Amino acid sequence: MDQRELVRQCLKGKPSAQKALYDLFAPDMLAVCYRYTKSMADAEDVLQEGFVKAFLALEQYRAQGELGGWIRRIMVNTALNYLKRKYPYNTDLSFGSDHLHPVSQENPEVRLHAKELADLIRQLPTGYQTIFNLYAVEGFSHAEIGTLLGISEGTSRSQYARARALLITWIQRSEEHPKTQSYAGK
């Protein structure tokens, strides 16, 4: 079924269309949620909340852009809100400490599988993880990330640089020692 037709049917409240839309996008969206959270259970929580929001706001979707991108955006925002709720006072989400990790300008080739790479990203401190996902994967600019997270553009930039360096180190180690599972003391 054409996506527009699918949306139309969903707006009419047809459960079958809603299920079809869910089946179409849920796997990709769960992967998005997975990258922003620390566990699959958390990821599924975000997925559930994100889809409820998407279905209830479906009439706001304009057929100008890709439906998947629209839902993805909802998932990302839901994930960010989820993190803010879950770690309200957790320094893990504090983006002010930029003294821990060196900056790397390397551009190593990534031979890891997607799942392995995602697992490494998830092992980053939550703040690093969030900024890395927003910048490297979603493609937000640092200015946009600053607005989203309530931090300065410079903080986003420096935090990203450190997250990147840390991740590269882990990737290199992981490729050298494939059996090593965790690098963040978790």
Q: Does 51 bind another protein (CB under 8 A)?
A: yes
- Smaller CB separation from another protein, 33 or 126: 33
Q: Does 74 bind another protein (CB under 8 A)?
A: yes
Query: What is the b/e burial string over 145-176, where b = at least 16 CB atoms within 10 angstroms of the residue's CB?
Result: bbebbebeeebbbbbbbbbbbbbbbbbeebee
SS3 content of the chain, % helix, strand, coil (to 5): 70, 0, 30
Site for another protein (CB under 8 A): how many residues? 82
**Amino acid at the residue 33:** C
Compute the least distance from the CB of residue 180 to another protein, in Å: 19
Q: Does 54 bind another protein (CB under 8 A)?
A: yes
Question: What tokens appear for 16 in the block?
Answer: 């079958």
Rounded distance between C-alpha atoms, residue 74 and residue 160, angstroms: 23
User: Which of residues 136, 161, 169, 172 is near another protein by CB under 8 A?
Assistant: 136
Q: Does 118 bind another protein (CB under 8 A)?
A: yes
Q: Does 65 bind another protein (CB under 8 A)?
A: yes
> One symbol per residue from 14 to 43: x for binding another protein (CB under 8 A), - otherwise; what is it?
-x--xx--x---xxx-xx--xx----xx-x
